[in-house]
Structure 1
C-alpha cells in the first residue's frame, strides 16, 4: 500500500485509545442523542441480505452497531442508499435539532458520480475508466468543496450542540497484491484507489474548517482487508450489483465502527 507504516501505527494507537475491546463505544461516548446521516456506506449496503427498508438500512451498519453497544438516549437512522448532499439536505436534516449531541455522516462519492465511474471501469477499457476517474476527480477538486461546505454549515446550524463525525471512504484494492488478483487490471485499480484518496483528502480539508467536526479516516482500518487481500472486507463486482465496492458486514464492524469510535 502507498500509506506509510507511521500512518498505520498512528491509526492503530488512536483506535486503541478510543475503543474498548470488541469495538464498543467508550463509556464517555455513550448516551446522548445520535443521528446517522449519509449515503450507502452509512446505511449498510453490502452488509446483509435483509435490509430494513427502501433506504437499504442494515442492522450490520456501523451506526446501528454503535447504538446497540452504546445505548444512546435516542437514535435516528437517516442514511440512505444513493444519497448525495442535496438529498441529505432535503430528506435527512429534519432529524437534527438543538438536542442532537452526535452526528455521523458519509457523503461525497455520489456527488462526484462515483457509482457511474465504477460501472464504466467494470464494463469499459482502461482508457474509458481513467477518463471517467479523471472527470470525477475534477468534480471533486472544483465542485465538491462548495457542496460539502453548504452541507456542513447546515448540519451545524440545525444541530449546534452536536459533535459531527464525517467518515471517509476506503481504498478498494491492495495494489501490492494486485499481480495475482483476478478482476480489473492494475491500471484501473490504481486509478480507483487514487480517486478514493483524493475524495478523502477533499472531505478532510473541508471538515477541518468546522469546530467540533472530526474526520474519521477508515483507510488504515481496511489495510490488509482490501480487494486482492486474503480476507477482504469489501465486495468486488457481485450480485446484486449494488453491493459492489461496498463494505461487507466485517467491513462495517471491523473498519467503519472502530474508525467512528476512534473519532469520539
Structure 2
C-alpha cells in the first residue's frame, strides 16, 4: 500500500518508534507452480532490494514470496504483486500469471480498497478526532463494500486457477499499545489497530466463503509492532511509500513463517484430495 506525498511534512514534525520461525533450509516443492499476487505487503515495499525491472511495483528480493520460492524447488514461480494494487487492479492486471497448471497462489488484498494510505495520512497529520473518523469510515467500507470486491477477485482467481491452493494473508496491527511511545497519540494508535482488525476480519470471512486458506499474521507480529522496541514495521520513512510496511525482518520472521505454515497445510490437503 502507498501513502501520498503530503505525509512528508509529518517527517520533520513527528518522531516515531523505529523500528514463527524462518523456514530453514531448502525443501522440495516438486510440481508446485507458484504465483504471488497482491499489493505492497506481498511485493515487499519497505523491505528494500527492489528489482529495477518491477518499477513502481517495488518487488523486493526480501519479500516473503521470493524467500519462500528461494527455499523450495518449485517448477515455476511468477511474482506479480505490485505496490498500490487494489482488488480491481489485481483482477485486471495480475491474473495473467495464473493458469490451469497453477498449484499455489498467495496474495494480500483489500487495504488499498479501504483507503489505508489516506487513513494513515489523516492520522499522521490531523487530530485524534479526525483520525478516528477516518478509521470509522474505512471500517464502514470494509463492512459494506469490501466483501463484494474480495468475492469478485477470489472468484476470478478460482476461475483462472481451478487446481490451485490459495493462501490469503492478512495484515499486522501497526502498534503495540504502551505508554511513553513518541509519535502518534494512544488514541490514534488504538484506532489504527482497530482498523487492522476490521480489515483482517473482512478478508478472513471472504477467504472462507471462497474456500481459500486465510493466514493471520497478527500472531507472528505480536510483540514486534511499532512501539515494541523490536519492530518489524517501518515508521515514517523516506521514501514515504515505505512507511507502515514490513521491513525485511518483518517478511523473514513475520510473513514467511505465516505463509510457510499455511502452505504446508494447503499442499497436504492437495495431496490428500
Q: Are the counterparts in 2 of residues 25 and 66 from structure 1 also a CA contact under 8 Å? A: no
- Aligned equivalent of 1:112: 114
Q: Are the counterparts in 2 of residues 31 and 70 from structure 1 also a CA contact under 8 Å? A: no
Q: Are the counterparts in 1 of residues 151 and 210 from structure 2 also a CA contact under 8 Å? A: no
TM-score, scaled relative to structure 2: 0.85
- Aligned equivalent of 2:201: 201
CA 1:108/1:25 → structure 2, altered by over 3 Å: closer, same or farther? farther
Q: Secondary structure at the match of 2:22?
A: helix
- CA RMSD, Structure 1 to Structure 2 (Å): 1.5
> Hey, what's the Cα distance between the residues in 2 that align with 1:97 and 1:50?
26
**What do residues 31-75 of structure 1 show as CA deviations (whole Å, max 9, x unaligned)?**
410000000000000001544321100000000001101121101
- Aligned equivalent of 1:48: 48
Q: Find runs of 4+ consecutive structure 1 residues off by over 6 angstroms.
A: none
- Considering Cα pairs closer than 8 Å and 6+ residues apart, tell me whether 1 or 2 has the greater RCO: 2
> Hey, what's the Cα distance between the residues in 1 that align with 2:75 and 2:33?
5
Q: Are the counterparts in 1 of residues 28 and 73 from structure 2 also a CA contact under 8 Å? A: no
1:117-196 alignment runs, 5 A limit? 117-175=119-177, 177=178, 179-196=179-196
Residue 209 of structure 1 deviates from its aligned partner by 1.4
How many residues are matched? 242
Q: Are the counterparts in 2 of residues 24 and 261 from structure 1 also a CA contact under 8 Å? A: no
Q: Are the counterparts in 1 of residues 46 and 246 from structure 2 also a CA contact under 8 Å? A: yes
TM-score, scaled relative to structure 1: 0.88
Residue 230 of structure 1 deviates from its aligned partner by 1.4
Q: Secondary structure at the match of 1:76?
A: strand
Q: Secondary structure at the match of 1:233?
A: coil
Unaligned runs of 5+ residues in structure 2 are 1-19, 264-273
Q: Secondary structure at the match of 1:63?
A: helix
- Aligned equivalent of 2:16: none
Unaligned runs of 5+ residues in structure 1 are 1-14, 16-20
